Amino acid sequence: SQELEQSPQSLIVQEGKNLTINCTSSKTLYGLYWYKQKYGEGLIFLMMLQKGGEEKSHEKITAKLDEKKQQSSLHITASQPSHAGIYLCGAEFYGGSQGNLIFGKGTKLSVKP
């Protein structure tokens, strides 16, 4: 079974609209990472969350980690075509190997101009 579930699998939004991507874990997270991948390219680090209830923002992207540290959301405000890509959440778990990130399958975001 997948340890990290992302939803939705894909998302198409009109430019200017807000959107949210979710990442849910079956186990308590030690650290949660959000990455963005453009088709055919590598991953770009966005944010890392570690504390329950933590929230971080970078430009128009906000990521939150719930108090129980089992769910994270990524929120984009006033989306732009440059936000298009695949968003991946990666996690470290308690008792897991250091540095071994488990990834969700990703959410493909398309932004229509």
Partner 1 sequence: NAGVMQNPRHLVRRRGQEARLRCSPMKGHSHVYWYRQLPEEGLKFMVYLQKENIIDESGMPKERFSAEFPKEGPSILRIQQVVRGDSAAYFCASSPIPGTYEQYFGPGTRLTVT
Q: Residue numbers of the site for partner 1 (CB under 8 A)?
A: 2, 30-31, 33, 35, 40-45, 48, 50, 88, 90, 92, 97-106
Instruction: Select 74 or 92, whichever has its Cβ closest to partner 1.
Output: 92
The least CB distance from residue 35 to partner 1, in Å, is 7
Instruction: Select 5 or 66, whichever has its Cβ closest to partner 1.
Output: 5
The rounded distance, in Å, linking the Cα atoms of 35 and 43 is 6
The least CB distance from residue 1 to partner 1, in Å, is 13
Instruction: Select 15 or 41, whichever has its Cβ closest to partner 1.
Output: 41
Task: Name which of 52, 35, 51 is nearest 43 in CA terms.
Answer: 35
Q: How many residues does the chain have?
A: 113
Concatenated DSSP letters for 30-50?
EEEEEEEE-TTS-EEEEEEE-
